[in-house]
Structures are given as C-alpha cells and as structure tokens.
Amino acid sequence: MKRVLPFLVVLLALVLVQSPVDAQPLPAPSGVWTPDRGDGTYKNPILYADYSDPDVIRVGDDYYMTSSSFSHFPGLPILHSKDLVNWSIIGHAAPRYPVDEFAEPQHGKAIWAPALRYHNGEFSIYVGDPDRGIFMTKSKDPAGPWDQLRLIRKVTGWIDPCPLWDDDGNAYLVHAFANSRVGIKSILAVNRMNKEGTQILDDGIVVFVGHKTHPTIEGPKFYKRNGYYYIFAPAGGVKPGWQTVLRSKNVFGPYEDKIVLEQGKSSVNGPHQGSWVVTQTGEDWFVHFQDRYAYGRIVHLQPMRWELDWPVMGVDQDGNGIGEPVASFKKPNVGKTYPLQVPQTSDEFDSASLGLQWQWEANFQSRWFSTDARKGWLRLYSQQMSASSGNLWNVASLMLQKMPAPSFTATARLEMIPQSIGERAGLVVFGMDYASITIEKSDEGYRVVQSVCAKAERGSPEEPKATALVSSPSIFFRVMVRPEHEKEIVPNILCSFSYSVDGKEYTTLGKEFVAREGQWVGAKVGVFTLAGANANRLGFTDFDWFRIEAAGGEKP
C-alpha cells in the first residue's frame, strides 16, 4: 500500500492539472491578466507583473505579499489576497529610503529580496541592502503606516535575510551574500537575534556551501516543521535555476539538500525563489517567480505536498521527487469563494492620492505633483533636467508602473501648459533601452515627437525618430504592447506609439520599439514632464487619466 499511495497522489495531481486546461471557464471580468479562470481553477502566472522575490504569509483568512523594489519608491509593495490567486495592492512598507543618496536614481540598489513575517501581533519585514546592511520595519496593520526602515546591522554584502522564531522564543536570521560586493556567493549563514528580532547578536555561522551542487544559492526563507528546520533557497541563477530545500534537526546544521522544483519539460524557466504558505484548510502552496526579461519577474503559484518530510512542488512528472511547474490547477481551498480581483493599473486621478501602482525612480518630492490643483486631474510640474543629462536614465521624477500583462495598451489624456521652449510631456516605456512619445513646445509651435534611447544606462543620447506638428498642447498618447512570439521565454516585446487630437482616431508615430528590462527590474510604463537645462521658467502638465486596457481595447 505504501508503494501505491505515491503513485495515486501523482496520478490525481496530473488529472487536476490537465482537466482545467480543457474545461470551459465561466464568464469573468475582463482584465489585462486575470489568473482566476472563473471555474474553480487558475492559470499561471498569478501575477503577470514584476513582483520580484515574492514572500507570502497567511494571517487568519488573509494572505499578504511583499517583493523587492530596489530603488523605486514608494517601495516594498504590500499586496493582499483572500485565496492566493486574486491580489490587490494595499500599501507600501517603505514610502521612502532613509539615505540622502536616494534623492537621485540608484538603479539596482537598496531593497533586495525581503522577508515578510507575523509574530506576536506585529507584521515585520527584513530586507538586505548589499551596500549598507540589514534593515527592518514593523507595523500593526499591513496596509500601513509602517515604521521607517531601521538599520539593525551595518555590513556590506549581506542580502536576502529571513527571520525564524523558534518554539522556545529564540530568534534567528538566515541570509546570503552578494558576490558583487564581497566576492562571496553560494553560501548561507545563520545568526542569532534577540527575541524581539530587532538586533543581530553575532557574526553568524555558515550553514551551507553550495559551490559544487547548488551554485549561486541565495534568497533563503526559514521555516520549522515536524522538528526539522527548513531553508527554502533558489540556486543555479535567476533565469536558469531551480528551487532547493535544506533541512536539519539543528538550526545551525548540518543541512541535507534536495532539489524540489525545476523547469523540466515545462516552459517555465528558473522556477524558484519564493515562499511556502499553508491555507486555513491545511493545504500547502508555493509562490515563486519566473524571470521573463523585459516583463520582469512574474509570479507563479504551485501546489505543494510533503513526502518523507520533504516538500514536492508542482507536479512530479517523472516520479523522481522533483516537481515541475503547472500551467493551471484547482484553486486553493480557503473555505469559501471570493470575487475576482487584479492589482490596480488604470488611474482616473479623481482621488486625493495617487494610485498605489505608481512608483518614482527615487525618493519622490511632494513638489513634483498635485492631485488637487485641478479637480479630477493630476498635475505634474516640469522638472529641469541637468545639463549633463543626455537621456532619462538619471531622472528621478518619472512616474511609472509595472507592465501588467504580455499584451495591453496604455493611453493617457494630457494638457501641457509650458513656460519655456523645449518643455515636453508624454508617455514612456522605460528600461535600459526606452522609447517615448511626447508633446513639445518648439519655435514652430507644438510638435509630437517619438524618441528612442538605446543603452540608456551607458549615457547614450536620446534620439528623435519621428515628429508631427499639432495645433494644440491638449492630446492623447497611446502605446500598444505585445510579444512578437508569445510562447518564447525571451520574447521581443514590441511597443507601438500613437497619438490622437480627439481621442478617437489615432496616428502611429515612429517604428515599433523592442522593450528592454531595467536594472534587476522589468520594463515599466508611465508618464513624465520635463524642461531643458536652460529653461528660465517652468510650466506643468495636467493628466486627465491614465488607462491600461486589454489588447482588444476592453477596460480591465
């Protein structure tokens, strides 16, 4: 009987995976990406957006997620779900970074992989800054406000921290090392902390070295189950890697290791780095990311079970104990059914605050914008570029959000009120290569310009590719985004820009642009208003709305 049970479990899992693919989903609200199929199943990814290094916990009947945000603020987004499939953004744990340097863009720095925990009635997040040390923040309410990030260990090269409170109340912290900062990688260490988790008490003990079998092991998450200490940690590199699990009866090891999730025959490259969560009905699930290049690190949900005190994730197609990602599956059993929901994208600018989907390229200034200067509009005040800026790479005042789906359109209605020649405002798809469509005040009047910058991170100049004269600074801009070949792991993401003077007929301007990721993040889409370095007076631009729609033009 013991030999038959594992086979039956695998067979049942295969049935559950395959049957939803052929099932006819019930009608569901339209959206640019809706993972809930409306028939009791879901499709992966559950978030087709760049929520890198996701960590998820359950508190009662609620699920909360945070992710890396690097130098984009507000940072440490907090997402909420009732069923692990339908998510919305409810706040940010790091509105600003407590370092003066972050008044300017610091691409790829600051908030690396975080860990979200709930202990003694408080939520806490631990995060490693590879250049400064280990930070933490706490809150009674996950939606905020959160305490300002607090440096609890000043050190270089420690990253990806995760705490564990043991059964006796003692606290520990596991972390990895950033090779780019200290020349060390593929090593995990455990430190003692005080019971409150607010102080790291020692220099730590190395508990695992993965150079031979699990190179680039990092992103550890700390758990305890059935007397075993578990460290869930990705290895093999971000794009081609796998999920490793370590276990030991002693918190300081020695640890056994096992690969529990890999790409296998699936189309999901590098399935790893995330978190284990248990539903209120006792089901086990694993949330992780997949790096889709310019789309960023999108989030998947895998069913999980335990066998001989080892987790098996996804579906074990070959019976070797190593799971592979599922394309679709039966939704988690959370005791009841909840309405469909997707993270915010469109913004009508009717609120006193910006939508939670927006981030700036650095610590933002309140003087950059106003939500009440013109009722129902967002006013962006023109920011002056420095004389040395040849492109937007080091501009802090770009207001951007994550790409939300493989295909979508983003449209903005705006009115520019310039005060100087050369002022411009518009729509941008931003990464290490970027493209924009803007309206600009020129000696000839107003003109629409479609521009491209290749290798912006190297200081390359922005180049206008196409222009058109218009009679008014009131205009509509649109970008249509689609993959050239949808099933490719590394797709060319094609972006086509257009404009309209009446909001009805759109004219394409310039050639299709191939989007490129940013520094450790996916490409982003958003708006900006700028003036030249020699401008004596600065104007502003009013945005009536910004709308993300499905590829066919349906509103999400």
What residues are paired with 463 via a beta bridge? 452
**Residue 53 appears among annotated catalytic residues:** yes
CA atoms of 378 and 400, how far apart (whole Å): 14
Q: What does the CA dihedral 442, 443, 447, 450 come to, rounded to 10 degrees?
A: -60
Residue 30: how many other CB atoms lie within 10 Å = 13
Phi, psi for residue 293 in degrees, rounded to 5: 60, -115
Q: Are 45 and 35 in contact (CB under 8 A)?
A: yes
**Residue 218 appears among annotated catalytic residues:** yes
Q: Are 371 and 354 in contact (CB under 8 A)?
A: yes
For the record, the structure tokens of 261 come out as 């999730």
CA atoms of 511 and 24, how far apart (whole Å): 39
CA atoms of 530 and 515, how far apart (whole Å): 22
Edge-to-edge strand ranges of the sheet holding 158-165: 158-165, 171-177, 187-193, 205-209
Residue type, 334: V
For the record, the structure tokens of 287 come out as 């949330």
235: Cβ–Cβ under 8 A, 6 or more apart, which residues?
186, 210, 214, 215, 216, 217, 218, 241, 242, 243, 244, 272
- Residue linked to tokens 């060319």: 492
Q: Which one of 36, 50, 53, 544 is the catalytic residue?
A: 53
What residues are paired with 77 via a beta bridge? 92
Q: Which of 250, 220, 225, 247 is nearest to 235 (CA)?
A: 220
What residues are paired with 346 via a beta bridge? none
Q: Pairing between strand 524-531 and 383-384?
A: parallel
CA atoms of 148 and 154, how far apart (whole Å): 16
Q: What is the DSSP letter of 480?
A: E
CA atoms of 425 and 451, how far apart (whole Å): 12
Phi, psi for residue 527 in degrees, rounded to 5: -135, 165
What residues are paired with 195 via a beta bridge? none
Cis peptide before 404 (omega within 30 of 0): no
Residue type, 360: W
Q: Which one of 218, 324, 361, 549 is the catalytic residue?
A: 218
Phi, psi for residue 242 in degrees, rounded to 5: -145, 170
Distances in Å between the Cα of 235 and the Cα atoms of 44, 182, 212, 291 are: 22, 19, 11, 14
Query: Which are the catalytic amino acids?
Result: 53, 218
